[in-house]
Amino acid sequence: MGFWNRVGKLVETAIEVAPVVMGTLQQEATKKQASMHQEAERRVREHEKKVSKAENSDRMSDPNFARKVKEEREILNRYYSPTSNTNVSPNSSGEITYKGLTVTQWNRKWIWLGPLDALSIDTLKHYNKVIGLYKMVINGNVVYVGKAIEFSNGGFRKRIRDYRRSSNSGRTHGSGRKIHENTGNLQVSILIVGSKSEDVKLVESLEIAMIKYLDPVWNVQHNR
């Protein structure tokens, strides 16, 4: 048998077995995906047991402990809620992901805008149709994390500008007043999450997780 005939036979064989090989690979991938999902679900259930145990412990009299337990419960409620955003789900390690990214990965995506007192409308206009989180930093320390969710009413532009207005629109709570009083010291960064109504739930879920991750001292949750 000549060289090209042998090559032809090999090609024919490869073509014949290709559907079988692809089918086997697809089955293995499906099994692996199901196994990963089961492992993630198991980790979530284990975490829920720990949260339930914590809720019934004597340590709930400690405000800081109670706050952290409440935050964990809110995350679980969002995960189990039938109306929760499908972009919030556990990965194969049991970590909650938000649009496919963990909190640690989201934390690498902050966009620095500059000092709060120097942010002009011209700078912020580029972000008037997107929503997400913003953080305030003093001397390298994150002091506040908030959300901008009015995607159809100015987005980040409106939310951040509120803190500089003469009115009280952005200062109805203690952290808002602190931000207004320290506009000259604060550096602002934003985290763009989306631009649609269905992204609002995702932003709200990510805000809870990011506050827990960064532990900003001015947030309302830390002043209760």
| Nearest residue to 161 via CA among 151, 152, 148 | 148
- Answer whether residue 217 is part of any domain: yes
Q: Does residue 85 register a pLDDT over 80?
A: no
Dig out the tokens for 85 from the structure.
């955003």
In a domain, 85, yes or no: no
Asked whether the predicted pLDDT for residue 65 surpasses 80, the reply is yes
Q: Please state the domain count of the chain.
A: 1
Percent of the chain with pLDDT over 90: 26
In a domain, 88, yes or no: no
Q: Which of 18-32, 94-108, 153-167 has the highest mean pLDDT?
A: 94-108
Specify the pLDDT at position 101.
Answer: 92
Helix (H, G, I), strand (E, B) or coil at 88: strand
Q: Which residues pair with 110 in a beta bridge?
A: none
Question: Where does the pLDDT of residue 131 fall: very low under 50, low under 70, confident under 90, or very high at 90 and above?
Answer: very high
Percentage of the chain beyond pLDDT 70 is 71
Q: Is residue 113 one of the residues assigned to a domain?
A: yes
- In a domain, residue 6? The reply is no
Q: Is residue 215 part of a domain?
A: yes
Q: State the residue range of the domain holding 137.
A: 103-222
Residue 82: what pLDDT? 45
- Domain CATH for 203: 3.40.1440.10
Tell me phi and psi for residue 92, to 5 degrees.
-65, -20
CA quadruple 76, 80, 82, 84: dihedral sign: positive
What pTM, to 2 d.p., does this model score? 0.62
pLDDT digits over 148-191, tens only?
998 777 889 888 888 876 555 555 567 888 888 888 899 999 99
pLDDT at residue 224, as a whole number: 46
Q: Does residue 49 lie within any of the structural domains? A: no
Nearest to 185 by CA among 221, 137, 222: 137
Q: Is residue 92 situated within a structural domain?
A: no
**Binning pLDDT at 50, 70 and 90, where does residue 92 land?**
confident
DSSP state letters, 28-64 = HHHHHHHHHHHHHHHHHHHHHHHHHHHHTSGGGGSHH
